[in-house]
Amino acid sequence: MLYLSWDKYNNLPIGVRSNTWQTIKNFGGHLSAQNKYGQAFATLNKAQQNGLQFALKEEYRNNGYNLTSKQLVVSEIRAKAIAITADYYQRLFGDDPEFIETRGNFAMKNNTLPSQLRREEMTQFFFWTAWAAATNRPDSDVTYTNNWPHEPLIDNRPTAENLIWSLVSIILLVAGIGGLVWGWAFLRNKDEDEPKAPAQDPLSLVNLTPSQKALGKYLFVVVALFTLQVFLGGFTAHYTVEGQGFYGIDTSKWLPYSVVRTWHLQAAMFWIATAFLAAGLFFSPIINGGKDPRFQKLGVDLLFWALVIVTAGTFIGNWLAIMHLLPQNLSFWFGHQGYEYLDLGRFWQLLKFVGILFWLILMLRGLSPALKGEGDKNLLALFTASVVAVGLFYGAGFF
C-alpha cells in the first residue's frame, strides 16, 4: 500500500488546475488490464472492461483516509498510476526534450517550472485536488467537492440536492421579478406623470469643476489599457497557432502564454475599473450642485497616481513571478496569487482595495449634501447604495 501524508497538502503551490483523466486512464485502462488479464484494455470484452471500470470507480469513491494517523492508503496499482502520472507532469513542466512538441501544443514554454522540488509539490497538489474531487466524504455518497467536476467514469454527476436547489433558485428569481412587475402594475394608486424632457442637455449647462477637468488623464489611461488589452488578446490568440512563438520568433522565452493571458485579463480589469471610477467622480460634483467639495481635485489626482502605481506594480509583478525571478516567498504578495481574474499579487490587491475605499470617500463627500437636501431622493439613494455596494464588493476577493 502507498501512504500519503495529508499535512503536505497545506504547503503546496496555489493556482494550479488538476486533471484526473491521465491517472484514471493509467489506472482504469492500461495498468489494470495488463495486471489482471495481460492484455490492452481495448482488446478486452465488454464484461471485462465493465469489471475494471467498476473497480476503478470503487477505488476512487471509497475513502481510505485515516483520521487518527492522518494517512491515506491506496492500492499498489493506483500508486503505480499516480507515479506514472506524476512523472509525466514533472517532465512536461521541466525541460525534457521529449515533450517539446507537447509543450508547443499546450502553449507552454520549456522549463515552465525550473525547480524539481516545486514540480514534485505540484504533482502532489494535483493528486490531493483530484482526491478531494473524487472521494466520498465520510458517511456520505458525494465527494468533498459535491461531485464536481463532472466525470461519468467515477459517477461524478450532479446530486439531487444540486439539481433541486438550482431549480428552486431559478424559480425564486423569476417569481421575484414577476412579483415586482405585478406590484408596480396593480398596487399603485395612480400613474405618475410622464417626466418632461429638458429643452437642453443638462450636462451641457454645467461648467466643469477642477476635479472634473483632472479626470482627463483617467480617460487616457482607459484608452491606453483598452488598446493594450486588444493587442495582448491578439498575441494570446496567436499562441493557439504557434504555441511557443509569434511568426517564427520564439517569444515564449520572454513573454510566454501565461504572461500575456494574465496581462490581457488584468488590462481589462484595470481599464473597466478606471472608467467606472472616473464616471462616478465626474457625476459627483454635478449632484453636488456643480461644486467640488474641498480638496476634491487633490483627491482625484492622488487616486490617479495610486492607480498607476498599482497597475504598473501588477504587470511587473506578474512577469517576475511567472518567469520565476521573484523569490518564492514573495511571489504571492508581489507577483501572482494564481486566482482567476485576481492575478495580481496580494499586496497590489490590498492597495487597489484601499484606492477603491478612497474613491468611495470622494464620492460620498459629493453625494452627502444632496442627500440632506429637499425633494425626491429615491434615485439618489439608489445611486448612493450602488456606489457603496460596488466599492465594498471588491473586498469579497480577499476571502
Tens digits of residue pLDDT in 193-244: 788 888 888 777 788 999 999 999 999 999 999 999 999 999 999 999 999 9
323-330: long-range contacts (C-beta < 8 A, 24 or more apart)? 323/259, 324/113, 324/114, 324/115, 328/118
pLDDT of residue 288: 87
How does residue 377 score in pLDDT terms, banded at 50, 70 and 90? confident
pTM over 0.75: yes
Mean pLDDT of 24-49: 82
pLDDT in tens, 66-112: 989 999 999 888 898 899 899 999 999 999 999 999 999 999 999 99
Can you tell me the distance from the alpha carbon of 152 to that of 99, in angstroms, rounded to the nearest whole number? 29
Can you tell me the distance from the alpha carbon of 286 to that of 202, in angstroms, rounded to the nearest whole number? 10
What's the mean per-residue pLDDT of the chain? 88
How does residue 28 score in pLDDT terms, banded at 50, 70 and 90? low
Can you tell me the distance from the alpha carbon of 231 to that of 107, in angstroms, rounded to the nearest whole number? 18
Q: How many other C-beta atoms lie within 10 A of the C-beta of residue 53?
A: 17
The amino acid occupying position 249 is I
Question: Residue with C-alpha cell 423569476?
Answer: 174
CB 355 within 8 A of CB 306: yes
How does residue 144 score in pLDDT terms, banded at 50, 70 and 90? very high
How many CA atoms within 13 Å lie on the side-chain side of 278? 20
Length of the chain, please?
399
Can you tell me the distance from the alpha carbon of 314 to that of 274, in angstroms, rounded to the nearest whole number? 15
Phi, psi dihedral angles at 73 (to 5 degrees): -110, 130
Is the pLDDT assigned to residue 19 strictly greater than 80? no
Can you tell me the distance from the alpha carbon of 325 to that of 331, in angstroms, rounded to the nearest whole number? 9
Return the percentage of the chain with pLDDT > 90, whole number. Answer: 65
How does residue 316 score in pLDDT terms, banded at 50, 70 and 90? very high
